[in-house]
Amino acid sequence: MKELKTTRYWLFDLDNTLYSGETKVFDQVDKKMSSFISKKLKIDIEEAKKIQKKYFHLYSTTLNGMIKHHDIDAEEFLEFVHDVDLNFLDKDEMLKKELKNLNGKKFIFTNGSRSHANNVIKRIGIEDLFDGIFDITDSNYIPKPMVDPYNKIIEKYRLEPEYCVFIEDIARNLKPAHNLGMKTVWIKNDEPWAAKYSDSEFINYKTDNLAKFLKEINELR
């Protein structure tokens, strides 16, 4: 772990990474996506759920599939699905402290929207600790794990991949980062689709608690 002390750039996924997946925030987003598809395609909710999951697995995000097959307004989709209740998300004082103590620049790298990211980090009290947010619009709606967003975030913030660490809960999204020379950290979870490939060589570290993991790094001599 000592090698992480030389890190200059920290990339954090948002959902189920900067807050625990046990809060089930993304479950709300999931339901809103089904609702959007149901209304937009005029189909029942069960059929909408099938399409949602099909597109997620085929195209890495439901949005990507909806754009490809139904030419939807991406901004309308993002605004609708991220209009969720965050009131039960608590301030995370330990995470705030460890992020503040972490050397290097910090960025959010998400397949979600910038507004959703801002709402989440404000709710957990870490809104002033990031140097930038790279959202799905920055990559022209091309999602992780396709390589294009990784190249775009590197270009936008002039990152040096060999000095980057990427932290993410969906294991497959770590592969392009590793291939580009970044160190990778998987946030352990029980979702089968997120845990798939979690034993791969492209994952350097694993943790089930982000704040504690960062604390270990900050305490290294």
Residue 209 is predicted with a pLDDT of: 97
| Percent of the residues in the chain that have a pLDDT greater than 90, as a whole number | 92
Geometric angle at alpha carbon 13, from 91 and 94, rounded to 5°: 30
- The structure tokens listed for 82 are 């991220």
- The structure tokens listed for 123 are 């709710």
Radius of gyration of the chain (CA): 17
pTM of the model: 0.94
Which helix (H) or strand (E) is 12 found in, with range? strand 9-12
**Mean pLDDT, residues 192-219 taken together:** 96
Contact (CB, 8 A) for 182 and 208: no
Task: Please report the domains of the chain, with CATH numbers, ordered by start residue.
Answer: 2-19+89-218 (3.40.50.1000), 25-81 (1.10.150.450)
**Mean pLDDT, residues 95-106 taken together:** 97
Residue 221 is predicted with a pLDDT of: 67
Q: How confident is the model at residue 216 (pLDDT cuts 50, 70, 90)?
A: very high
**Mean pLDDT, residues 12-30 taken together:** 91
pLDDT in tens, 35-51: 999 999 999 999 999 99
Q: How confident is the model at residue 24 (pLDDT cuts 50, 70, 90)?
A: confident
- Please count the helices (runs of H) and the strands (runs of E) in the chain: 10, 6
pLDDT in tens, 135-182: 999 999 999 999 999 999 999 999 999 999 999 999 999 999 999 999
Mean pLDDT of the chain: 95
Contact (CB, 8 A) for 200 and 171: yes
Please state, in angstroms and rounded to a whole number, the distance separating the CA atoms of residues 189 and 169. 7
Residue 174 is predicted with a pLDDT of: 98
